[in-house]
Amino acid sequence: MIQVLLADDHELVRSGFALMLTVEENVEVVGQVANGKDAVAQVLAEPVDVVLMDVQMPVMDGIEATRLITEATDTKVIILTTFDRDDYLFDALRAGASGFLLKNASPEDLVAAVLAVVDGHALLAPEATLRVVQQLAQHDAVRGPRAEPAGPAGGLTAASSTGTPERTGEQQRIIDSLTAREREVLTLAAEGLSNGEICDTLVVGQATVKTHISNVLAKVGARDRVQAVVFAYRSGMVS
């Protein structure tokens, strides 16, 4: 069973999500909390597979709660909000979230989101992933040298005079550890291609692409596909 914790300050919203998730027999809602602080405390006490996390909550917001949870556990976090805003997307990804979903999503989309992040996939359409990581990488480059937040290939990332991130020694080591095909797969993913489109481009099967993606995640040290793609931009593999 996939264990899910619901974090939202509106009881009616939590009840609605709990009801929506009952359509999937392999998903079980094991708890409900009304703020980020309680979400962190519950996950640290009894880890779950996925947290569905509201952004705006009292005591502690969902972004900070996500950061604390993903830094301390392997729990996946899906950010839920009524606002389709880029700043929430960026903040959620920086905090380590594996997905971002609007609260008006259908029951089918909600269940699919939970199943996707448990399987290590990013909960963003390829087009959205491309838009987000491009802006995220550009923002990091403009900021210049800094300490990296939680995410793949930590350390310092400097910016060159052209605004392009300069590759660190650790990033180069990771890239060197990738096979030629793994680099190819990561580059295509960073360009916004889905697994199916990567299959068509490389003329290989779904299982082969999934194996390459899994290998890339392990070598990059990424929790999911989004973080691996962010690494591709931050390290200059894709510009």
What the block records as the tokens of 139 is: 């923002």
Question: Do 2-118 and 126-234 share a fold?
Answer: yes
Q: What is the pLDDT of residues 58-113, one digit of tens each?
A: 999 999 999 999 999 999 999 987 766 666 777 887 888 888 888 888 888 888 88
Instruction: Please report which residue ranges of the chain form alpha helices under DSSP H.
Output: 11-21, 36-45, 62-72, 86-95, 107-118, 126-143, 169-177, 180-190, 195-202, 206-220, 225-234
- How far is CA 22 from its chain centroid? 24
CATH number of this structure's domain 2-118, picked from the four choices 3.50.50.60, 3.40.50.2300, 3.20.10.10, 3.40.50.620: 3.40.50.2300
CA gap 107, 93 in Å, rounded: 23
Q: Report which residue type is found at 81.
A: T
Q: What is the pLDDT of residues 139-162, one digit of tens each?
A: 555 444 433 434 454 433 333 434
Question: What are the residue boundaries of the structural domains of the chain, listed by start?
Answer: 2-118, 126-234
Domain 126-234 has CATH 3.40.50.2300: yes
pTM of structure: 0.65
Q: Please give the residue that has the higher pLDDT: either 125 or 124.
A: 124
